[in-house]
Amino acid sequence: MEPRIPFPHLRAESSMSQRRGGRFDMIGKIRYQACFFWLLYLAIFSVSVFRSAIIEGAHDQEDVVDTVTPERVKYYLDNKETLVIIDLRPVKEYKEKRLPGARSIPLKELDKNLRVIPRAGRVILYCDCPQNMLIQDAYQVLKDDHGYRNIAIMPEGIKGWMQRKFPVETGAKTN
């Protein structure tokens, strides 16, 4: 007695497709090639679509600005950590009040004074900019145009420092 096959219609197709050069063998090859090229197209299309998203995502990642709070800066100062604080305000405002140990490099003179900004250790930028965009622009110029990787900004600036009643220096100190 012949074994019972649950799907007899498949039995006939499989026996026919086993013959070399048969019609079903040719259809199988065409299906295989069609699937292969469809998957290849899908892969290339996916890479081209997601490539721009990946590049844009990486670009957004680079635009992240490193920030630091006044409390963190005070912690660095209290623990005598190596730190360079750069005041980007005009010299007149710098002389009135500044963070302890800060150096004056007005925003307009930043490009001329790159030699005094170290490339190692922590560097904190702050100002009292009417818009934080100015200090972020300075940050981006240092980071992107001049290759600094050790800088952060204190977005709250001198106002945030003084609101917390942290110590300030006054008088005509220069770099």
pLDDT in tens, the chain (175 residues): 566 655 555 555 444 445 555 666 777 778 778 778 878 877 787 766 666 555 555 444 455 778 999 999 999 999 999 999 999 999 999 999 999 999 999 988 988 999 999 998 999 999 887 666 778 888 888 888 888 989 999 999 999 999 999 999 998 765 4
Asked if 79 and 54 sit in the same domain, the reply is no
pTM above 0.85, yes or no: no
Residue 145 inside a domain? The answer is yes
Asked if 150 and 111 sit in the same domain, the reply is yes
Point out which residues pair with 103 in neighbouring strands: 86
Asked if 156 and 81 sit in the same domain, the reply is yes
Asked if 21 and 47 sit in the same domain, the reply is yes
Residues 6+ apart with CB under 8 A from 170: 95, 96, 97, 98
Nearest to 126 by CA among 77, 88, 171: 88
Q: How many residues does the chain have?
A: 175
Task: Give how many domains the chain has, as a whole number.
Answer: 2
Say how far apart CA 35 and CA 28 lie, in whole Å: 11
Asked if 96 and 149 sit in the same domain, the reply is yes
Q: What share of the chain is helix, strand, coil (3-state, %, to 5)?
A: 55, 10, 35
Asked if 146 and 79 sit in the same domain, the reply is yes
Asked if 129 and 100 sit in the same domain, the reply is yes
Asked if 51 and 127 sit in the same domain, the reply is no
DSSP class of 19: S
Q: Which domain holds residue 84?
A: 70-163
The CB-side HSE value for 17 (13 A sphere, CA atoms) comes to: 12
